[in-house]
Amino acid sequence: MRGDVRSFAQARRERTGDVDRWLTDLLRTACVMPYPRGREAWSGPSMTDERGAMAGVALVAVGSFGSGEPAPGSDLDLVLLHAGRDDVARIADRVWYPIWDSGIGLDHSVRTVEEAAKVAREDLKAVLGLIQARHVAGDAELTRALRETVLAEWRADSRRRLAELREAAGKRAESAGELAFLLEPDLRDSRGGLRDVQAMQAVAAAWVASAPGPRVREAYELLLDIRHALHLVTGRGADRLVLQEQDAVAATLGLLDADTLMRRLAEAGRTISHAFDTTWRTVDRLLSGPVPRGRRPLADGVVEHGGEVVLARGVNPRKDPVLVLRAAAAAAEAGLPLAPATVNTLAGQAPPMPVPWPDEARDALVALLGAGRAAVPVWEELDQAGLIVRLLPDWERVRHRPQRNPVHRFTVDRHLIETAASAASFTREVSRPDLLLISALLHDIGKGWPGDHSVTGEVVARDIGAHIGLPPADVEVLATVVRHHLLLPETATRRDLDDPVTISRVAEVVGSREVLDLLAALAVADGHATGPGAWNAWKASLVSDLVRRVRSVLAGAPPPPAPVLSPEQAALARHGGGAVRVNGGAVTVVAPDRPGLLWRAAGVLAAHRLVVRSASAASAAGTAVIEFSVVPEYGTPPDPATLEADLRLVLAGRLDIEQRLARRTRSLRPARVPVAPPRVTLVDDASARATVVEVRAHDRPGLLWRIGRAFGECGLDVQAARVETLGAEAVDVFYVVDRNGRLITDEHQRNQVRTAVLAALR
């Protein structure tokens, strides 16, 4: 079966047929088997007549078996219908027990038609199963009567039942997330999953909307195949596609790798989600009564009608290539959906856009993106119809491309439009709002090509800029912003902002206030669109501080001098050490200056379940002052008095912090999936006063302490540290010097540092 996806559907059909025959034999045997002596027989047709023996009883399949789509690990969901037979308990036992003995999971019930219909009136899950109930064996008239009763009541009470169905789907989506954008999606319950298609089929059964079309059916079949392969890989009836199974599932399906699998899965999930939303718009429109008459003009050739955006009468899409973007911009600005028929007309009749684009087309694109959140569903409508790729051919390379990164919550293409929507709120803070929106849309476009996505993205952005008709000077600005869109957040979190070299280098790269402001707005929009793990108040304050300092340099002010002790720090230092201050998320340690002070203090913080966000050190008259910015791993912060006491003990050499951290490490659960090996890089020319060492590793408690101890073993002092956690990955940067305060230039010593840090991380 490996690699032949078509055989999966055939296998499901064959399993359905095999189980049907088995169940038919079980029911026949149960009905005609002689009664034990002393038992009272059913007073119906002759027990020697097989048809007569099975009269008044039927076996009905619901769920995946009812729809003829069982995966290898699927349970059987069966209803034993009867017409008041007094021997039904005996029949049920003789059907259920062989199924249990076989090891197949079974969800079963025994009901009359009236009882089953009553359950369906009260239980949404039951009615959804019975709407698609399938007769397996026995009295087919009973099954027919049940289906007719359930369907008639479902249609008669459709207003209430569909509202119930919609609420349940919303709760399920909120709990399970959106299939297209999850690292480990639930194939059944996630938004865009199997149950959403089944919900659409239930809506169609109510005669309120059409049944899912061929594109949805194709997407649904793909999800069934993936679930089938997942059951084969795991040997059980799993619905969640976890990371460690994705490569094996891809191989079972004959796909290249897990990325290919997840890209196809994302496309299927978005196809289903889009159809699901369209179905409910149809439901709302039909159940809310007659559509109001009249048409309200929105743009040239575009009007609102019945709560949707449609083309005006007499408009010829074949003669107007800009109409697609003009209609999309009008829909987003009005906060209305494009009518499905309108989208289909534009997809089928719109001519190719001239290249380079006319100014009107580019203005419409900017207007669409400038609508903010309202632009996202409109963009999705165009994308589902294939119009985005026709307008921007390079979009195909990022379309549905998975990130497979816990920090990112969207596929690459969805992240790009989400970033543009977020950037719309900053258009009044930059001199070129149009370039902000376009650069936000394209900032990660390089992820569709091999190599550093910022470098490849610059090349692609130049091509697209010229394609959409931007003048050469604007193309240069766009390419610069795309190339350096990570400059501000990475510098702010991984470099010492008090080092004059840091600020000078950033000012040199951005070159102008215009580019700096665009990068600053894009950094915030990108962070918000990425996910909660990528942006927080700490990072925002660092980026804001960096922008302020660079802006000052661009205005002609000299770079800031090297840091010195503040008056408050100097006052603490005069006490000769031993002082500890804890104030919310700030921890200040003052002690006699000696090697290893920073990492020993960091070990105490880790032992108290505090995550170090940044650390800096300064000294005067032999006394060091270290400032930590910390947040608790979870829960409430530790007691400041206890933390201060432990810091003083470790500084005095009276607390073995290594043992405490070792206990914490032993209590941690190992990672569920393999993690990438750590990487240690010495960055040249990043500072004039220290050597910058960048460490990337899987995050765990005490990481900063382990790295610092390795530096100490190499005879190095840590002057400052920047610590950032992206999902489960740590990106830590250290400014180190040798015991004489010099940079690390000897290649042998540099290799020694790399080796020591890597050994500590392993």
CATH number, position 268: 1.20.120.330
The pLDDT confidence band at residue 683, using thresholds 50, 70 and 90, is: confident
pLDDT at 587: 85
Q: Could you read off the pLDDT of 558-573 as tens digits, one per residue? A: 766 655 666 766 666 5
Judgement on whether residues 188 and 105 belong to the same structural domain of the protein: no
Q: 460 vs 52, which has greater pLDDT?
A: 460
What is the layout of strands, in order, in the sheet containing 691-698?
Answer: 579-583, 586-592, 623-632, 610-620, 716-726, 729-738, 691-698, 679-683
Tens of pLDDT, residues 402-416: 987 778 889 999 999
**Could you tell me the pLDDT band of residue 44, with boundaries at 50, 70 and 90?**
very low
State pLDDT tens for residues 183-215. Answer: 899 999 999 999 999 999 999 999 988 899 999
Q: Return d(Cα 183, Cα 180) in angstroms, integer.
A: 9
Eight-class DSSP state of 33:
S
Report pLDDT for 728.
61
Assess if residue 620 is contained within a domain: yes
Please check whether residues 515 and 471 belong to one and the same domain: yes
Check which CATH number belongs to the domain holding 625 and give it. Answer: 3.30.70.260
- Same structural domain for residues 525 and 635? no
Q: Is 467 part of any domain? A: yes
What's the mean pLDDT in 434-440? 96
pLDDT value of residue 667? 61
Distance (Å, whole) CA 660 – CA 655? 9
Residue 83: the pLDDT is 92
Q: What is the pLDDT of residue 41?
A: 44
Tell me, yes or no, whether 226 and 114 share the same domain: no
CA distance 382 to 7: 34
Residue 57 and residue 83 in contact, taking contact as beta carbons nearer than 8 Å: yes
Q: Is residue 307 part of a domain?
A: no
On whether residue 83 sits in a domain, the answer given is yes
Nearest in space to 599 (alpha carbons), one of 754, 733, 717: 717
**Of 499 and 380, more confident:** 380
What is the residue range of 253's domain? 159-287
User: Over the stretch 704-720, which tens digit does the pLDDT of each residue have?
Assistant: 888 888 998 898 888 77
pLDDT tens by residue, 309-350: 999 998 999 999 999 999 999 999 999 999 999 999 999 999
Residue 366 domain flag? no
Q: Is the pLDDT of residue 9 over 60?
A: yes
Q: 302: number of CA atoms within 13 Å, CB side?
A: 28
- Convert the pLDDT of each residue in 504-558 to its tens digit: 999 999 999 999 999 999 999 999 999 877 888 888 989 999 999 999 999 887 7
If asked whether residues 110 and 205 sit together in one domain, one would say: no
DSSP tag of 37: T
Residues 475 and 614 in one domain: no
Q: How many CA atoms lie within 13 A of 500 on its CB side?
A: 11
Q: Do 523 and 582 lie in a common domain?
A: no
Residue 660 lies in a domain: yes
> pLDDT-based confidence at 2, cuts 50/70/90?
very low
Assigned domain for 310 exists: no
pLDDT per residue over 71-104, tens digit each? 999 999 999 999 988 899 999 999 999 999 998 9
Same domain, 733 and 613: yes
In this structure, the number of other CB atoms found within 10 A of the CB of residue 576 comes to: 13
CATH number at residue 144: 3.30.460.10
Instruction: Tell me the residue type at 647.
Output: L
Q: Tell me: pLDDT of 616 over 50.
A: yes
Q: Domain boundary residue among 240, 259, 287?
A: 287
Can you give the pLDDT at residue 46?
43
Query: Which residues partner with 77 through β-bridges?
Result: 62, 107
pLDDT of 218 reads: 96
* 356 cis-preceded (ω within 30 degrees of 0): yes
In the listed set 117, 141, 156, which residue is the last one of a domain according to the structure? Answer: 156
Element (H, E) at 181: none
Q: Please tell me the total count of domains within the chain.
A: 4
pLDDT at 726 (0 to 100): 62
Residue 728 forms part of a structural domain: yes
pLDDT tens column, 119-128: 999 999 999 9
Reference 340, options 417, 275, 270, 296; nearest CA is: 275
Q: Number of C-alpha atoms within 13 angstroms, CB side, residue 594?
A: 10
Domain edge (last residue) among 287, 320, 354: 287
DSSP E strands: which ranges in 621-651? 623-632
Computed over every residue of the chain, the mean pLDDT equals 87
243-253 pLDDT per residue, tens: 999 999 999 99
Residue 98, burial from CB neighbour count under 10 angstroms (0-12, 13-18, 19+): middle
Of the listed ranges 89-103, 228-242, 316-330, 630-644, the least confidently predicted one is 630-644
Question: Quick one: 481 and 605 in the same domain?
Answer: no
In whole angstroms, what is the distance from residue 734 CA to residue 717 CA? 10
Shared domain for 632 and 756, answered yes or no, is yes
* Whether 545 and 610 share a structural domain: no
**Own/partner pairs, 661-665, CB within 8 angstroms, 24+ separation:** 661/603, 661/606, 661/607, 661/701, 661/702, 661/705, 664/606, 664/607, 664/701, 664/702, 665/700, 665/701, 665/702
Q: Helices 359-370 & 433-442, crossing angle to 10 degrees?
A: 80
For residues 557 and 650, membership in a common domain is answered with: no
Give the residue, 48 or 554, on which the prediction is more confident.
Answer: 554
pLDDT number for residue 48: 45
pLDDT (tens digit per residue) in 288-311: 766 666 788 999 999 999 889 999
Q: How far apart are the first and last CA of the chain?
A: 41
What mean pLDDT is predicted for residues 675-699?
A: 84
pTM above 0.85, yes or no: no
